[in-house]
Structure formats: structure tokens, C-alpha cells
Chain A
Amino acid sequence: MIEFIKHSKIYFIIAAIITIACIFFLLYFGLNLGVDFTGGSILRFEYVADRPSIEEISAKVNQAGIASFSYKDLGEKGVIIKTKDITEDQRKSLYETFYNDSNIDKDTLNFDKIGSAVGNETKHKSIIAIIIALAAIIIYIAIAFNKVSRPVKSWKYGIVTMVILAHDIILPLGVLALLGKFASREFSIPTLTALFTILGYSVNNTIVVFDRVRENLIKKSGEFKDIVDVSINQSVSRCINTSLTTLFPLIAIYVWGGESLKDFSLVLILGILAGTYSALLLAGPILTKWHALSRKR
């Protein structure tokens, strides 16, 4: 049996450093919101042969009546052009300019234009969805822990579950902020979807460990911290294995699954890693510390 509680200080310090760093990234860099949320347009395509110079491509965009835009190479022959919100006329001429260019492989031409009103709405809707999801999860936790329990009150399990949830979400958010700043990766609807999925996954992992604790409190006698230790030990293989089997396909998507699902799978991978760490090494130890502190008083 591994004595998890004995080393809880180390787990706390590691988690605290990572979490504080991620919060810092998040506050300092912010999220690099994509066109889904800000409005604007993205044009993506590949040239049949060699890619012309940036100047040539810029001139074409300017021809379409668009002065400011951002440009990025995509692979060998590809190009990504991003603009702020543009008018219908600009949209038309931008698209036509490149659609009618015979050097471009039309089958690779992708174009997104999202009005800023729609972007704002998506932002608004996302915030509402986050609030609803959090409310639903709080209600779910309240139901899951509604039985009276000794020696730790059941609402404390709920609070710790929420703390763990925050920990699991902050890691991918911090990494996203970092990637947004230095790799100009954008926070998009797929990344948001992945974050939502982590919500469910994190809570579930923590509940499994806590269920063991409560089960063992009834069955076994001994000090609270020993019972927590036993429970964590019983959950280790289960927690790691379920995470592994979920990580296998996600890592496969990240590596082989193409550009569009990269951020989506990355966020899920990070969330599941954070979730496994916290369910095994944070949830039980935090609860034990809290119990010890409240008994001292």
C-alpha cells in the first residue's frame, strides 16, 4: 500500500505552483478568442504549386479593399488569412479574388465569415451555458453527497469536489492562454466544448474516490487519514486505467487526427491528466487536512 497522505505536502506544492502559474497566464495574457467569438473572417487555402511571396498575397487582399489582416503560412503550400469583421462587399471581393485565382486549389479553399453580432451572441450564449453547467453540477454534487456522513460532513466533500473541478479546468485554460500568446492558437468553439466535457469528467473522478472513502468509513475502523489512504489505494488502478483508455484515442486524434481537432483533443488530454492527478493526489489529502484542521479547533 502506498501512503498517499504522508506526502500530501508535495502534491499540494506541485498543484499550487502549476495552478498559480496558469492563473497568471490566464490573467496576464488572457484568452486569444477566435472568430467564433469576436466576429471576422478566416480564409484558408493551398496553392497548386509554390506559394507566392507574402507581398504578392497581401497585395491581393488589399485589392479586395481590406487594409488590415493577419497572415500565416500553413504547411508547405497553404495560407491562412484573417481579418476583422468585414462588410458584405469586402467579403464578396475577398472571396472572389482568391476563388478566381487559378494558382489556388479550389478544393482546399475554406472560408469563414462571422458577423460581430453573431460572435457576441456566441460569447453571451457560452457564458450562459457555463453558468447552467456549473449550477447543474453543484446540484448533482449536492444530490451525490446528500447522505449524512461521519466524521466529515457531507457538504465538505461537495466543496472539495468543486475545488478539484476548478483545479482541473485552470490547467487547460492556462495552457490555452500560453498557446494563444506564443503560438497564436485561438480559443474556439471546439476548445470550449472540450472544457465542458472536462467538467463532467473531473467531477466523476472525484466522486469515485470519495464514494470509496464513504464506503470504507462504514466498513472499516481506524483513523480518518488511514481510511482515506486505503480508499485512494483501491482507486489507483481504476483511475489510472480509465484515464489511460480515454487518453489513447485522444492522443491518437491529437497526433494523427488533422488540424481541426488538435486543440479540442489537447484540452481534453490536459484536463484528463489534471483530473487524474487531482482525484488521486489532491481530493483525499485536502479532505484529510480539512478534517484535521477542524478537529484542532
Chain B
Amino acid sequence: MHTRIYKLLSLLVIVVIIALAIFIYPKYFNNLIKSINPNFLGFPEKEFRLGLDLQGGAELLYQADLTGIKTEDVGAAMDGLRAVIEKRIDIFGVREPEIKIMGDNRVSVQLAGIKDPNEAVKEIGRTPYLVFMEPKENYEEILEINQKALEEQNYDKMQDPFTPTDLTGRYLKKAQLNFNPQTSEPVVSLEFNDEGSKLFEELTKKNLQKPLAIFIDDELISAPIVQDVIVGGSAQITGKFTDKEAKELATNLNSGALPVPITLISQKSVGATLGIESVKASMIAGAIGLIAIIIFMIIYYRASGFLASLALLFYGVLILSIFKIIPVTMTLAGIGGFVLSIGMAVDANILIFSRVKEELREDKEISSAIKSGFSRAWPSIRDGNLTTLLVALILFNFGTSFVKGFATTLMIGVVISMFSAIIITRILMLAMTQTRFGKIKRIWR
């Protein structure tokens, strides 16, 4: 290759390092150019996307009770559940809430920045679970038993005379507050979607002259006697509501009755302070680690060590920019993976330099020693990075968010570090051998 090209490329590397550094932390640069001329456009001030553990917030894990849902409907029911929860937490104004379906029957809700997760839990939980129930076959019998039990005050003997049907809130199209024209009592009118209408029609046909109970959140609201087969899918809930209660019920039903009942099985909430402190502490730790590596590399490998440190800086700013652009959600585990990857990034350089030193000992020319050092170190570099990638890949599929965050940054780190340690260092080294430093063998050993 033409000899000057390495020098040009090296210059480019340094320009890229500076540009990316400004991209990562544009504040000072922007202030500077704005002070020169306020009309200049600065770098966009984009923030890193911080995970819950760093900015504070709550993560809630719900388990859905899918009994009674056909296997083929499970997906739809879970999607419905997700949508409903999304609507519910909208009122919190959380920036980018993350609601994800985990596995078959779980929903994870991540709310960044909220202080009191109990409020969110309440809000999500308040969503009424609406279900229509029909009388059991021995309805009359059970009623008699219950009556007797009530007289004897033997409450343990009481039984539930109703059994749930398929008709639940997931078939609801609309709920509305109305008033009975005669009594002017509040009623909540329901309108079902097509499927729900069909179910309702069947139910009323089957239970003609029998009571059909409406339960909301496991509480009997009313059990009107079915007078007629109802076609068209509209029903009314009457009960002993106050106007306010009826209105709330209608709104809650509208904003989405849960298609399936859910229980909260895990909750994590992180205060904002711990997060901020962790970020600061890890950043300081990362910087100290980086400086220690640079000092060590320059003392031990001299000129090559200096160039490897430049390549390491290139690696650092490049990977942080990538985290910002994608954006990768930064968690504590992710920072752990990143800091670890700084250490691993120079491994490849060390392998190369050991080989270069050996070649120089055999009295080879500097540039040819560098070239064969690179090619002879390659198999070890490849193997080492492959094992790390392999483990990171397994970790990524393992699931929990901590592990995923770690595996993601580690994988990105391994790939980028191979590029910086091999290609960037090589460009820098070959460029430097063409200057007068290239003649001084002492500084390369």
C-alpha cells in the first residue's frame, strides 16, 4: 500500500476520537461554539438511555391466570392484557414505559422514574375484572343450603351458586353511564363486540328465566333474571350504585377491563439516589481502570503501548457512541460488562505485542515484525474472543434483565474491541514506523 495512506488514516482516527468524544459529551463544545457565534448548530445533546436501576423507578411482574382460556386464544388474551395495562399506566405520564409479555403468562411493567410504585400497583390493580356467571346446575339446592347455613350461622357450609362463563371484560366494546328513566337510578350499560354478543346471546338463551350474575373483581354486582334472549350484545348493570360509583365503574370498564385476572408476583423499586450514585461510582471506577491500563501499557510496551492506548480511547468513545445511538439501555450490569470489556480490549494488543517482541528479538525489520506479529497473534485473539462471545450469547438467552444487560454490552464490546485492537492499532503502528520514530528500535521492544 502507498506509504502515506497510513499517516492519513491515523489522522482520521484521531479526528474520529475527538468527534465521538464531543458527541458523547457535547455540553462544553456546544457552549464554546455558541459563544463564538450563537447561530452555529451544536452537536445534538442526546442522553444515554438509563435503565431502571440507574434512574430509579419500578419494575412489576404480573402473572396472568389463564385457566379457562383456550390455548389458541392465549396470545390474544395476553396482548389484550398488555394493551389494557398500557392504557392504565398512561395516566402516570412515565416516559417510555416498557410493558413486555414474558413467556406464556407473564407481563413485566417497567416504570422509570416513578417514586411510589404502590400507586402504580393500585392503578393497574384497580382495573376491574368483569365476568358474567351463570347459575350452577344445582342452583336451587345450593341456595337452600346457603339459607340454612345462614340461619345456623354456619358460614363454612355456604357455597357459591354461580359458575363463571366465557363472557368476560375482554369482549367488552364500550361501557356507558346511563340513568333509568323511571327511577332515575344510575345504570351502567355495556356493549359487547361481535364475539361477545354471540356469547351473550347463547348465555341468555341457555339461562332463560334464570339469574345471570355480573361479577366485578369477584364481587357480585347484580344478578338479574333473564327475561328474553338478548340479541345484539347490549346489557345493563344495575345495582346499588351512587352516581359517582357508577361513573367510575363505567370509566374503569372503558379504560379496559382486564381480559384475564392477574396477580403481582415480583416487584422491584429503586430509589433515584442509589442509581445516580452507582453511575458516578462506576464511571469513576471505569476511568481509574482505563488510566491504570494506559500507564501500564506505556511503561511495558512503550511506543506500541502508547498507540494501543490511543486505540483503546478510540474503542471507548466508539462504544459509548454506539450505546447512545442504538440506544442500548444502560444498566449497572451493562456498565459492569463495559468496564470489563475495557480490560479485555487490550488483551488482543498484548497478544500482538508479545509476538512482535519475539519477532524483533530475531532481528527482523520493525514493519515486517509488526506485520507478522499481527498475523501470528490472530488465532489466539480469535479463540479468546470466541469463547467470550459464546458465553455472552448463552447468558443473553438466560433471561433476567441483569444478565441480559451484561451480555449485551459485553458482546458489543468484544466485537468492537477486535476492530479497534487489530485494525486501528495496526494503522497507527504502521504510520508511526514511517516516521523517524520507526528507526529507533529501542522504543518498540
Q: Is B300 an interface residue (CB 8 A)?
A: yes
Q: Which of A210-242 contact B (CB under 8 A)?
A: 211, 234, 237-238, 241-242
Q: Which residue of A lies closest to B277 (CB)?
A: A258
Interface assignment of B219: CB less than 8 Å from any CB of chain A: no
Of the residues B288, B343, B384, contact of A247 by C-beta under 8 Å: B343
- Residues on B with beta carbons closer than 8 Å to the beta carbon of A99: 116, 118
Instruction: Determine the chain A residues whose CB is within 8 A of the CB of B53 once the complex forms.
Output: 260
In the complex, whether B388 has a CB less than 8 A from a CB of chain A is yes
The answer to whether B321 has its CB under 8 Å from any CB of chain A is: no
Contact with A along B70-87 (1 / 0, CB 8 A): 000000000000000000
Interface 0/1 of B384-408, CB less than 8 Å to A: 1011101110110111101100100
Q: What 0/1 pattern do residues 254 to 288 of B give for CB contact below 8 A with A?
A: 00000000011111111111100110011011101
A196 touches B288 (CB 8 A): no
The answer on a CB contact under 8 Å between A249 and B285 is yes
Write the A237-272 contact mask toward B (1 if CB under 8 angstroms, else 0). Answer: 110011011111111110111101100110010000
Number of cross-chain contacts by CB at 8 Å: 207
Q: What chain B residues lie within 8 Å of A242 (beta carbons)?
A: 346-347, 350-351
CB pair B289–A201 under 8 Å, yes or no, is: no
Contact partner of B118 (CB less than 8 A), chosen from A45, A95, A256, A264, is: A95
Cβ-defined partner of A190 (8 Å) among B266, B384, B399, B402 = B402
Q: A91, B293: Cβ atoms under 8 Å? A: no
SS class of chain B's interface: helix, strand, loop or mixed? helix
Nearest residue, chain A, Cβ from B401: A189
In the assembled complex, the Cα of A10 lies from the Cα of B273 at a distance in Å of 50
Is B290's beta carbon under 8 Å from chain A?
yes
Q: How far is the CA of A185 from the CA of B270 in the complex (A)?
A: 20
Residue contact B387 to A193, C-beta cutoff 8 Å: no
Inter-chain contact B347/A261, CB cutoff 8 Å: no
Q: Does B61 contact A (CB under 8 A)?
A: yes
Q: Which residue of chain B is the closest to A251 with respect to CB atoms? A: B289
Chain A interface residue bracket vs B: 35 or more
Binds B, one of A18-26, A101-109, A151-159, A175-183: A101-109
Q: Which of B45-65 contact A (CB under 8 A)?
A: 53, 56, 61, 63
Mark B residues whose CB is within 8 Å of A: 53, 56, 61, 63, 115-118, 121, 263-274, 277-278, 281-282, 284-286, 288-290, 292-293, 296-297, 300, 332-333, 335-336, 339-340, 342-344, 346-347, 350-351, 354, 358, 379-380, 383-384, 386-388, 390-392, 394-395, 397-400, 402-403, 406, 410
Residues in A lying within 8 Å of B, measured CB to CB: 36, 44-46, 88, 91-92, 95-96, 99, 105-115, 117-118, 122, 125-126, 129, 132-133, 136-137, 140, 144, 189-190, 192-193, 196-197, 199-201, 203-204, 207-208, 211, 234, 237-238, 241-242, 244-253, 255-258, 260-261, 264-265, 268
13 example contacts (A-B, Cβ-Cβ < 8 A) are as follows A106-B115, A108-B271, A113-B268, A115-B61, A129-B395, A200-B388, A201-B388, A242-B347, A249-B286, A249-B289, A249-B343, A250-B343, A260-B274
